[in-house]
Structure 1
């Protein structure tokens, strides 16, 4: 095998994985659209929920064979206009549409360079935000930088324990036991977070670091595995976060996500206390000694 062939093999394998992800995503989206949602009669009994392939093709104005091959993940060319028609037919929102484009390897205006660039002022800015917890994360929810307030609030993510631990807020939210998990409103927030992760994954299908992270988290958390299998995509948006700490009790925040032009796939998250009491508790937590967030150990 030549050097060129050896270098090309990982790229071919990555494209195959991307196509498999495209296939799974399109099938899941098609199953979620009812015929009556797009003006079609329910018709005779259907073997599976949602639209048939031929119905998607008809509504999108494309050939049945072409759409079938697209959904099967075959290596076919797709233009922006045709993919946009498929996205409209499947009633995809902006985040889902961008995800479709990336899986089909059609560039969108939002796509930019993938390599993050964080200069030395990033940490200075984070430190100046204290006592507001703040961190810079990437699309995989890895915590790249954080301030002391974030560390005091969320040590399970910034100081992971055990050989499989990661400095990653998603990993902490899914793998730390309920009794020790500082993140309380997970039932409301975790589906959204997994949807945001799915959107980021569209840029990185087949990349070893992403595939390893997803494989490990699926093995570590049945709850994550179930949410990931839904193929749902969500856009980043401000969210309510509820934490608890043994030293001060419950704290409620509005999490704001800010983009970083120099690092398009990274974001700054800042937690703003919901009330004066929440702010006072956060200030006490930052000013006081480092009290463990829970009152017991396993």
Structure 2
């Protein structure tokens, strides 16, 4: 990513977060003549203890020097979460240029991780890389979502599939809520690998082809590990309720493991077992 694109991303993020902070949320009077939602630039500068001119330059995406302490103050003024603060820092310091980018052929699953994946028999689980390409899955996920084996490898991108495949849109009761969690993770990677041109090309292409993606991407939500309670309406099993837990896998490949755990007190696990039993012809105790 060139510096102009990175600084524009920084600018857009600051503007959006500023627009979401109302004066009363930070102890400031509402005042009058607020032509735009949220705080004014001078109010953010005041809260952060910096000059209005300096903050304006930062928000305009000018290439100026910043320090950790000042970013901490701005993050506090804008009430950023831990993940949002990390994203802001990555953009401000161009930390994405520090990473080396492995080729797609180097993204593999270790035997131990593959064993863990298969052991999660009644928990649909998907493993993705830093581009959100699906590099591993278990039988439970193939039955609840899609048989990823039947999808061409170049199309096995989770973000792409969420928008392009009708199976996903009809599956999630609240599809937008479901998708937001993955886009928030994707934006975390975007900040970490800001120099990787692949992201810019993918985001641009998705935005052109899928207006819904563009809308959700512009909301700039950031989360490294959102926990989501999601309800599915499965074509064969009916209502299924899962807790989604997303975890990073430590190692050189920067993999992520998304685990859907059947919610206790529901019939989800029994329905999942029935799906697997019907497919394999085996009986599960």
Counterpart position of 1:273: 262
The answer to whether the 8 Å contact 1:136/1:143 transfers is yes
TM-score, with normalisation over the residues of structure 2? 0.84
Counterpart position of 1:8: none
Counterpart position of 2:135: 144
The answer to whether the 8 Å contact 1:118/1:263 transfers is no
How far apart, in 1, do the equivalents of 2:277 and 2:175 lie? Answer: 27
How far apart, in 2, do the equivalents of 1:238 and 1:88 lie? Answer: 23
How far apart, in 1, do the equivalents of 2:149 and 2:8 lie? Answer: 34
How far apart, in 2, do the equivalents of 1:82 and 1:210 lie? Answer: 28
Q: Comparing 124-133 with 172-181, which one deviates more in the overlay?
A: 172-181
Counterpart position of 1:126: 117
Counterpart position of 1:243: 232
Cα deviation, 1:57-82, whole Å, max 9, x if unaligned, reads: 12211122221111111111111101
Cα deviation, 1:72-106, whole Å, max 9, x if unaligned, reads: 11111111101000111111111111111011027
Counterpart position of 1:93: 81
Residue 99 and residue 180 in structure 1: after superposition, are their counterparts in 2 closer, same or farther (change >3 A)? closer
Residue 179 and residue 60 in structure 1: after superposition, are their counterparts in 2 closer, same or farther (change >3 A)? closer
Matching residue within 204, 214, 218 for 2:207: 218
Matching residue within 19, 36, 43 for 1:55: 43
Q: Comparing 41-50 with 117-126, which one deviates more in the overlay?
A: 117-126
How many residue pairs match? The answer is 274
How far apart, in 2, do the equivalents of 1:70 and 1:180 lie? Answer: 39
The answer to whether the 8 Å contact 1:136/1:268 transfers is yes
Q: CA deviation at 1:183?
A: 3.1
Residue 239 and residue 45 in structure 1: after superposition, are their counterparts in 2 closer, same or farther (change >3 A)? same
What residue ranges of structure 2 are gaps of 5+ in the alignment? 281-285
What residue ranges of structure 1 are gaps of 5+ in the alignment? 1-12, 291-298
Alignment of 1:255-294 (within 5 A): 255-263=244-252, 265-274=254-263, 275=265, 277-289=267-279
**Following TM superposition, where does structure 1 have runs of at least 4 consecutive aligned residues deviating by more than 6 angstroms?**
111-114
Q: Secondary structure at the match of 1:289?
A: helix
How far apart, in 1, do the equivalents of 2:115 and 2:100 lie? Answer: 24
Alignment of 1:100-115 (within 5 A): 100-105=88-93
Cα deviation, 1:227-266, whole Å, max 9, x if unaligned, reads: 1112232342322233343332232212222331114732
Alignment of 1:40-79 (within 5 A): 40-79=28-67
How far apart, in 2, do the equivalents of 1:166 and 1:86 lie? Answer: 39
How far apart, in 2, do the equivalents of 1:180 and 1:55 lie? Answer: 41
How far apart, in 2, do the equivalents of 1:234 and 1:228 lie? Answer: 13
Residue 192 and residue 126 in structure 1: after superposition, are their counterparts in 2 closer, same or farther (change >3 A)? closer
Q: Secondary structure at the match of 2:50?
A: coil
The answer to whether the 8 Å contact 1:102/1:203 transfers is yes
Q: CA deviation at 1:157?
A: 5.6
Q: Comparing 29-38 with 238-247, which one deviates more in the overlay?
A: 238-247
